[in-house]
Every structure is written in structure tokens, then in C-alpha cells.
Amino acid sequence: MQTATVTVEVPVRKPPVPRNGVDTPAVVETIFGVVAKQPELAKFQFRASNQWMTGTHSRTTMKGFSGAGGEHAHLAEFTADGDHPAVLCGADQGPTPVEWVLHALATCLTAGIANIASVRGVTLHRVESRVEGDIDLQGIFGLSKTVRNGYQNVRISFEIEGDAPPEKLREIVEQSRARSAVYDIITNGIPVAVSVAA
């Protein structure tokens, strides 16, 4: 058989290097080196404990979680408060529960942006976002049978700067959206079971 040597150009992904404060090699190894081969390691359970303080004020503690085949604990025990504002007769000892949803969305998308940019070799200079949610309280007040309890619309707008063309930066945000846990939760809904020991 005759053979010939030919030269072809194939795209080579840059090897992952730490970037944007992300340990990119560790992220790539975790996903493709470890979890891809042992999918059961991908099963996580996150937990929170909440205690009523007084009025509409309560406090949540977040510490332990399971995943990657074992139990884990955060470096610190995190606590956070929730309350209703004065205009809704609360003591305003913390953000409202619906503001916490906006926080969850923003932190999820932003973490994804940092990881994805790092894997794609893009150095970020700035990522900021603003989230707004419109809600008609006739729902939770029980004053309407047609108005829903939750937000009617949420908008999140990003400003992003980095060493890449705008189109590539927009693609990073879009990929983060497409792989965001919180975006999925709040756009598609999840089953929630409520139980009571009284």
C-alpha cells in the first residue's frame, strides 16, 4: 500500500491553566477525569436548617452537605436571615425571601461564567449583574384567584469585560445559563415536598 504524509490543521484546545481565580486544571480533571468515569460521584445533597426568630424573621444555617461519595462541611458555618420589609409589616432584619431567589440566580450564573471562561482560556476583568423581579402581592395576600404567588417575570442583565471579543463573552454567559442549576430550578420548577411534625 502506498502512503503519503500530509499536513492538516486541527483545532487544538489550549491546555487548561489557572485563570480568573479558578483552578482550571482541577475543574477539568474533576469533571472529565473523575466524574465522567464514576457518575455516582455526581450525586450531591445540599441542606439548610432554619429557625424562626420572631415575626417574619427567621435565620438559616448552612454547613454540611454530601457528594462525591462522602460527607462534607463548608469551611465555615454560614448563616443568613430573611424577613419582610417595614412596608409589609416586617422588622426588615434581612432581605426578603424573594430577593434571596435573585441572589441565588446571580451567584449561580456568575460562578458558571468564571468556570466556563477559564476553561475556554478567557481572562475576565469584570462581571456584574443586576436582577429584577416583578411580583404582584395580590397573589400571596389571597386577594386574587388569577394572580400567581411568585414573580411574574425576572430579568438579569450582565456587564462583562474580558480578553475576548464581545461575541465570545456573550457565548460564555449563554453557556452558563444553559448549565445553571438555579436557572433550571426557577425557570422549569422542581418538586418540593412539605412535611410537618406538630
* Interface with a second copy, residue 52, by CB under 8 A: yes
Count other Cβ atoms within 10 Å, centred on residue 82.
20
Using the rule CB under 8 A, which residue among 9, 13, 75, 145 binds a second copy? Answer: 75
Closest separation between CB of residue 55 and a second copy, Å? Answer: 3
| Cβ partners under 8 Å of residue 53, min gap 6 | 59, 81, 93
Residues 86-105 touching a second copy, rule: CB under 8 A, are 86-92, 94-105
Sole binder of a second copy in the list 17, 33, 155, 163 (CB under 8 A): 155
**Interface mask (CB under 8 A) for a second copy, residues 110-129, using x and -?**
xxxxxx--------x-xxxx
CA atoms within 13 A on the CB side of 63: 7
Beta carbon of residue 133, minimum distance to a second copy (angstroms, whole number): 5
- The answer to whether residue 55 forms part of the interface with a second copy (CB under 8 A) is yes
Angle in degrees, CA 59, 51, 100, rounded to 5: 35
6 φ/ψ angles, rounded to the nearest 5 degrees? -125, 155
C-alpha cell at 87: 412596608
Q: Which is nearer to a second copy, 6 or 52 (CB)?
A: 52
As a whole number of angstroms, the distance between CA 140 and CA 151 comes to 11
